[in-house]
Chains A and B, each alone.
Chain A
């Protein structure tokens, strides 16, 4: 165990190795490592962002769905209301129409009744005249009573 010039030689070798490591070994490797760390961090961030986007999208889709459901139920309610209105309107119209038809029918019936009564009256008068003339034909001179008969017939009309 003796200290000699080897010490100085080793120290020189040591400083050369340190210089070499500082200059050529450490920086490029550190650069590569840091670049990779950045890539990984970016990838993780992108993944996180994607997840966030997905969350937003699903939130949005559920909102849209809810809105659509609401609109649909509104439309259905409107349609129901409208159909009720239409039915009511139709009922009113039908009632009016029925009333009108009824009135018409009544008027027609009255008219028919009137005309039937007229024709009956005519027929009765004729029958009466015919019957009277049959009775009178035997006893009464047709000529003598003709004016009377005509008067009666006219009265009966």
Chain B
């Protein structure tokens, strides 16, 4: 924390919720801002998670697996089972590996929430010389929207690929209420709402849960600044919240993956 800023609850929270930004290609305008912390952390985590899997997989044997290979296999089979239940078709071509990538990546990004924020901030400040650095990429709405919109485009792509332009148009106009031309506007409106709400709920669910979790940690951290009792209870509740958060981060990663699988499966199935 920079010494010239007065330490108030507002500045404390603001400090922890400020991104390290840069402008892309020297362009002006708020859209051309890049959250370097989000991007770098998420890429590092993706490379670590998938790289670990890749290293295991390269040495994978069909014989007796090592403990690490068994762990990777357990994860893969768990996701494969989930996909198998909702997707009927060649799941190994796209949807199952995509689900694996999403689960691993989102889980790792969510898990950053458990790292103690002020210790991490101190490390960023004093080891890397970075004043603003947000550790949890999924508390950046850009990350969750990027994922959800990518999934949304996949849904559109598979709709067109499986049903064709005609089939999909028919579905937009004639489902879910019926083929009667009088119902066409209603059907279209319904589908429009559905296609808009899908990426919104998909991304904001993840963002909201993880962001709220971080805010709770921040509030507990602020309580610790009020005195010995505050420190004690802040630490105690912080530990409790962190333990509870182990469940939340896993659950949210799982939900995000499952929704992806369900949306893509729905795009494959005609009504």
Using a CB–CB cutoff of 8 Å, the interface residues on chain A facing chain B are: 1-11, 13-15, 17-18, 20-22, 24-33, 35-36, 39
Contact = CB atoms under 8 A, between A and B. Distances in A.
A14 B150 contact: yes
Interface in B16-64: 24, 30-35, 38-39, 42-43, 46, 50, 53-54, 56-58, 60-63
Contacts of B140: 6
27 contacts: A2-B33, A3-B142, A4-B33, A5-B34, A6-B34, A6-B39, A6-B142, A7-B142, A10-B38, A13-B42, A17-B101, A18-B97, A18-B102, A21-B50, A21-B53, A22-B101, A24-B57, A25-B53, A25-B54, A25-B101, A26-B92, A29-B60, A30-B76, A32-B60, A33-B76, A36-B62, A36-B63
B210 interface: no
Contacts of A2: 30, 33, 141
A29 B72 contact: yes
A32 B70 CA distance: 11
Contact of A22 (B31, B34, B39, B97): B97
Contacts of A27: 92
Contacts of B105: 14, 17
A32 B60 CA distance: 6
A118 B102 CA distance: 144
Contacts of B98: 18, 21-22
Nearest to A36: B62
A32 B73 CA distance: 9
Given A22-B94, A25-B57, A4 B31 contact: yes
Contacts of A10: 38-39, 42, 137, 142-143, 146-147
Nearest to A22: B97
Given A20-B54, A25-B50, A28-B60, A11 B73 contact: no
A62 B183 CA distance: 78
A22 to B, nearest CB: 4
Nearest to B46: A17
Contact of B50 (A11, A20, A36): A20
A17 B24 contact: no
A9 B39 contact: yes
B122 to A, nearest CB: 25
B100 interface: yes
B174 interface: no
Given A10-B42, A13-B42, A25-B100, A4 B142 contact: yes
A7 B97 contact: no
Contacts of B258: none
A27 B154 CA distance: 21
A10 B149 CA distance: 11
Given A1-B141, A6-B39, A30-B92, 5 more contacts: A3-B141, A25-B97, A30-B80, A33-B76, A36-B65
B77 interface: yes
Contacts of B100: 21, 25-26
B66 to A, nearest CB: 12
Q: Which of B32, B65, B141: most chain A Cβ within 10 A? A: B141
Given A4-B142, A20-B54, A29-B57, A15 B150 contact: yes
Contacts of A21: 50, 53, 97-98, 100-101
Q: Which of B57, B72, B105: most chain A Cβ within 10 A? A: B57
Interface string B72-97: 11001100100000000000111011
Interface string B121-145: 0000000000000000100111101
Contacts of A36: 62-63, 65
Given A2-B30, A6-B34, A9-B39, A18 B101 contact: yes
A99 B150 CA distance: 124
A1 B142 CA distance: 8
